[in-house]
Amino acid sequence: MAAPSDVSAMLDVAIAAARAAGAHMKSHLSTSRVEKTKSSKDDLVTVVDKQCQDLVFATIKQSFPTHEFLGEENVAPGSEASARALRELASKEWLWIVDPIDGTTNFVHHRPASVVSVACAHLGDVVVGVIYDPYRDELFTAQQGEGTFLNGQPARVSHEASFSEALVGFGIGTKDSVRLPMLDCAREFSAKCRGLRLQGAAAIELAWTAAGRQSAFYELDLNSWDVAAGALLVKEAGGHVTNSDGTPFSLSTRNIVVSNNKGDIHASMLELIKKADAVNVRKAMEQQLPAPYQVNTWFFVCGPLAVNTFLLGLAANLHVFKKHNLAFDRVMDMRPDEVPTARGVLKTALAMTLLQLLLFNGEAARRGDAFGVDETRMEMLLLGYAFVAAALLLCPLDVLHYKFRMFVLRKLARCFWPFQHFSFKLPAHATPFIEVFMADGMTSLSKFIQDLIRATQCLISFQRTTSMNDRFLHLLNTMKYCSSLLVISVGAYPMLMGLARPEQSSFFLLCAVFNSLYSFLWDVVMDWGLGQPKLPRRVAFLRHQLTYRPRKIYYVIIAVDFVLRIMWVTKWWDWMHRGVHFKLVSQVAEVVRRIIWNFVRVEWQCIKLDILGTKKLSADSLELEDIIEKMPLMEEDEDDDVEDMKPRMRPVSRPNSFSAENSGTETSSTLSQSPPRDGNGGELLLQAMRNAANSENAAPGANAEGAQHDEIIAPAAITVASYPDKPQAMLISGGDLTASTHLRRDSSPNKATTSSADGAVVDEM
């Protein structure tokens, strides 16, 4: 037994610590916000919880530096974790048990119904208990064998001796496995007692029972820090404290029943609890309910799931690039043997996904609770996943695309350290596209550091670029990433300081919306090369050269990018639905947006470098509509005078397109870039024009004389699509006649075959 003088000193220290924490809690009532959840979506934690606990521990350690401490904020979530923590410390000579804010849900909702609970146990037996309510300035204290006091005045339990006259307090808990039996119990109680009351904080219920403000209290699945101080208060005030099955109370008791120890009240409560089958947490029912959200579960799932989704997207990117002949290796400055296969990346992604499922589901199956895992174990599993991922990336064996992995490692090193060697000297050239591409991809996995990397890359390119226009664009790009850093900083500051939620700040919303719209416009105009003016209606707001079909897919991509860019703002909202945190959805959505972004970004880079693979025009059986669809786009000059028939140059989208116009008996042709690359050159064009003229002259009412002279050609417009070493296609229009031809090279160098739209084939020598 400890000396009374020592216990009295501990009581004084406990009072000082409780008052300090209570004052801090009260000052932050109007600005409290949720930082995370623990054992369920309703088991909340705020920044102020940790701050109050630190105040209590610091105050006690000044007087008792050798004592042990058990605080709610230092224990992983879940019933098993708290029970294990108590078992490890229960045998200590002196153990302080602290709940810095009991009633956190009330505190988060700015409801003044939360208290500080401080208890001290000697060899597992509680000898000091203090509960402080800062909003009413009520201090409940008890010392073993010395009675209970409220603000220095003796306190005693109530005098009711019949359960029919009893006012009973109860707790609803934070888990469905607790709430359902408690509601059954409340139904039984309400039919027998005078009334039921629920305060939302077990420590308040116990303190008020000790002070005679209610007759009894019962709740399932409480932790030692919830009941240690309150149980001593009730005992010293003359009350009775047991387990739900009637066994004596100890620090390991989780289902607590307290009463004023008068008449039949305690016995009636035990009987009704048993009748309602509310003696224990309903394990079987708990397993059938939807798994509650856990902050650590989200943290575990979100990171690996985002990485695995990114790998699956990379496999899709590689497959589509190969299908559309996009020179991925040339764009990324890779050797052909460094380019991975889509199938290989897909296998790696599936293997990593399987690893994630095995780690998580294996642990959940072992514990019998899909999401009820403690923080330490979840962090160890996350480290295990990261270790396997790093081992696969760093593996020195020539397996799993070894050359590609080494290429990625070199470029990652350049991204994180863009300077020359181990100095801060800037590189001699602007940041290459591959490093920009990789850093952009990493921003979808982690924002702050990667935004800093991209801003640094933009500034380096600004310094190493001579063109004033390009330098200005690099500055604009730097501003984009700086605006993203501003959003993160403005959103993180109130979260770290325990102030109002970030979405409640108009400045935060302004910064977030500005950054999202800025980034969206940059995606469309600069990264994708879309939004070009003066285009035909069928490609309005797009660009001349489009690889993917149908063209409408580009409009869908633009719309999806806009929605997901705006969705980034909502990552700061603390939304939950059926236990699934909204941040998990938004993180995966951002990775999906990046995958879609890759498709168009690489395509546009191929176009800018003029290494875009061209589709081969098909065989003679193509319909006219298909021919028109595959023709190079021509810009319309709306300012042309209709009556001015003078031949003129019309720019076309492809560098090897040919356009010719003629009027009356005089034919003139204009070469836009280069003539059709064919041995017969102009002879093929002349034959096509003759075919058009003869077809028109053969129509009813045509001039027979004109049909006899090849030199007289009817008004016609001919467009020739020519591709190196590939068939040529012509669209010939004249008067009311429109015909199409395909010019195919024969094996003979001096012979070509012309196929008209009606299927006729003409051989020319």
φ, ψ for residue 764, nearest 5 deg: -125, 140
Cα–Cα dist 281/532, whole Å: 65
Q: Which residues of the chain have pLDDT under 70?
A: 1-5, 32-44, 176, 281-301, 360-379, 493-505, 569-583, 612-765
Q: Which DSSP string corresponds to 392-417?
A: HHH--SS-SSHHHHHHHHHHHHHHH-
102 is in an annotated binding site: yes
Q: What is the pLDDT of residue 731?
A: 46
pLDDT digits (tens, 9 = 90+) for 118-130: 999 998 899 999 9
φ and ψ at residue 707, rounded to 5 degrees? -75, -15
At 34 the pLDDT is 64
What pLDDT, on the 0 to 100 scale, is given for residue 173? 77
The answer to whether 644 is a known ligand-binding residue is no
- Tally of CA atoms within 13 A in the half-sphere of 632 that contains its CB: 24
Query: What does the pLDDT read at residue 92?
Result: 86
User: What DSSP line would sit under 505-554, residue for residue?
Assistant: -HHHHHHHHHHHHHHHHHIIIIIS----SS--GGGTTS-S---SSSTHHH
| Confidence at residue 569, expressed as pLDDT on a 0 to 100 scale | 66
d(Cα 496, Cα 502) in Å, to the nearest integer? 11
Token pair listed for 153 = 């005045």
Q: 45-62: per-residue pLDDT in tens?
A: 788 888 999 999 999 999
DSSP code at position 654: S
CB 543 within 8 A of CB 612: no
Q: What confidence score (pLDDT) does residue 208 get?
A: 97
DSSP annotation of 113 reads -
- Element spanning 438, H or E: helix 433-442
User: What pLDDT is recorded for position 169?
Assistant: 94
pTM for the predicted model, two decimal places = 0.49
The CA angle 369-117-220, to the nearest 5 degrees, is 35
**What pLDDT shows up at residue 360?**
67
Q: Strand locations in 252-394, DSSP E?
A: 256-259
379 is in an annotated binding site: no
Q: Which CATH class is domain 4-286?
A: alpha beta
Q: Is 99 annotated in some ligand binding site?
A: yes
Phi first, then psi, for residue 185 (nearest 5°) are -65, -40
Strands of the sheet containing 256-259, edge to edge, are 195-197, 167-170, 216-219, 256-259, 240-243
**Pairing mode, if any, of strands 580-581 and 666-670?**
unpaired
Distance between CA atoms of 711 and 688, rounded to whole angstroms?
A: 13
Write phi, then psi, for 293 (nearest 5 degrees): -75, 140
Q: What is the tens place of the pLDDT at every residue in 28-39?
A: 888 766 655 555
Contact 451, 484 (CB under 8 A): yes
- CATH 3.30.540.10 range(s) for the chain read 4-286
pLDDT of residue 35: 58
